[in-house]
Amino acid sequence: MNHASPSFARRSILAVLILSLVLSMTARGTSRGLSPKEREEVFEKVWKDVDEHYYDPEFGGVKWQEVRQRYSPLVKAAKDDQDFYSIVDRMTAELHDAHTRFSSPEQWESRKKHQGVSNGFRAGYVEGQVVVLDVFPESNAAHAGIEPGMIVTALDGKPIADRLAESAQNVLPSSTERITKLRILGNVFAGPLETAFAARLQRADGSVFDVKFGRQTLSTAPRVTAAKLSSGFGYLRFDEFHPSLVKDFKAAVENLRTTPGLILDLRRNRGGVGATLEAMAGVFFDSKTLFERRMSRKQVGASERDGHHAEEQQVFVGKKGAQIYSGPVVILVSEYSASATEVFSAGMQDSGRAKLVGSPSCGCVLGITHDRVMKGGGVLEISEILWFSPKDRKLEGEGVIPDRAAAPSIASLQEKRDLVLEEGEKMLLEMAALKRPVPRASPPR
């Protein structure tokens, strides 16, 4: 991927944000093993590439040379390739950046296929508790009777609080506290395909529900979901800015162009490719519009030295006659909304083209220009681009802030109500100056 079309979280807040909550990467593959000498060579190249190409010449205050000295003996003592890959990935995590990471060949292959080992449901923090947010249809979890709104109280016989505390010891702080918490939670639920998932949950009536079932491989292949809601508004959901979705997205917008308002549900969208978000954004504008600002390592360094904002690359979308949808737009966001999703949402918000409803986004907004394949098949990704909104808001570490806050409650999940979607429809009513009432909303299945 080049600078004109960088990858945000194309492969991992893709794998580390939402997939980290649901998927544990399969530890299988056909790549050849590395000798101890080759491991040291790969380690040195990873360190050197980050040293030379990381977007921030100051490494966010991290003493990168000292990091190398600390991790070098760990690499030499690695007992096998999987141990080695984990060590190098943890070294890149020292930068506290969700986009700079190192994947084993097996992890990379799983991510490319949009596959992973799953418990069959997604859990999150609601009202200070770990709660089931949604369940994969036809998954083992669904067949076992797990439902949204159930509170997870224990895993494998240990209280959930203890499991979270143990997991926190192994997770370094990342771009924001929000993604750090999600990674801690993801580690608690992770496990290989061969192991069973055992948990104790609490139902809506307070009764205890014990389950045990096998983890399974599930696909998260990107797709566009479109519908006309009972309110008359249009609804679109897609969970990745993937190039294969542009055609389907434009067709869906075309089919909904006569609706009085449009909701884009990006609450689970973990990012994607820059050119894709720009192509999708273009359907909402009838003239050339500033949509993003980018800075490279060279520009960041100059800005710090000179004490002013260095010249940056500006990205525009839209043109006369290319607009497909001209009505009001509301974008639903959450802490799971990451990377390219945040750039898209900030561009729509700052340009006045959309209002945002939900909770603050991930704050994980750095650009990867290309993948660096190492000897043995491991892959290094480095953050080389820093993003700003059209109004010059720094997005990394900050995220986008909704115009109207809304979040699910345990009760709403148990009642199968979508409070955020309902609030989005209320916002559209105000934007479209409509007077008629809106029926209770629930997302399309």
In a domain, 442, yes or no: no
| Residue matched to tokens 């949950």 | 201
pLDDT of residue 6: 54
Q: Are residues 237 and 307 in the same domain?
A: yes
Provide long-range contacts, Cβ within 8 A and 24+ apart, for 206-212: 208/153, 209/145, 209/150, 211/141, 211/144, 211/145, 211/146
Whether residue 235 is contained in a domain is answered as yes
Residues 6+ apart with CB under 8 A from 338: 8, 9, 13, 17, 18, 98, 179, 269, 270, 271, 361, 362, 364, 365
Does some domain include residue 6?
A: no
Amino acid type, 238 = F
Q: In terms of domains, do 111 and 122 share one?
A: no
Domain range for 423 is: 224-367+384-432
* DSSP H or E stretch at residue 51: helix 36-53
Q: What is the pLDDT of residues 210-244, one digit of tens each?
A: 999 999 988 888 999 999 999 999 999 999 999 99
**CA–CA gap between residue 269 and residue 271 (Å, rounded):** 6
For residue 136, give the amino acid letter.
F
Half-sphere exposure of 25 (CA within 13 A, CB side): 25
Would the pLDDT of 289 be above 80? Answer: yes
Q: What is the largest CA-CA distance in the chain?
A: 71
Show which of 96, 115, 134 is a domain's final residue. Answer: 115
Q: Which residues pair with 65 in a beta bridge?
A: none
Residue 168 and residue 100 share a domain: no
Same domain, 32 and 111: yes
Label residue 445 exposed, middle or buried (CB < 10 Å: 0-12, 13-18, 19+): exposed
**66 lies in the same domain as 195:** no
Tell whether 192 and 56 lie within a shared domain: no
* Total domains, the chain: 3
Give one DSSP letter per residue of 349-394, joined into a string.
HHTTSEEEEES------EEE---EEPTTS-EEE-EEEEEE-TT--B
| pLDDT tens digits along 88-126 | 999 999 999 999 999 999 989 888 888 788 899 999 999
Same-domain pairing of 215 and 329: no
- Shared domain for 106 and 149, answered yes or no, is no
pTM of the model: 0.87
Whether 221 and 252 have beta carbons less than 8 Å apart is answered as no
Amino acid at 259: T
Pair 295, 395 in one domain: yes
Q: Print the SS3 string covering 70-87.
A: HHHHHHHCCCCHHHHHHH
b/e string for 135-151 if b means 16 or more Cβ within 10 A? Answer: bbeebbbeebebbbbbb
Q: Over the chain, what is the mean pLDDT? A: 89
Mean pLDDT of 369-392: 95
Q: What is the pLDDT of residues 323-338, one digit of tens each?
A: 999 999 999 999 999 9
For 30-34, 127-131, 172-176, 289-293, which range has the lowest pLDDT when averaged over its residues?
30-34
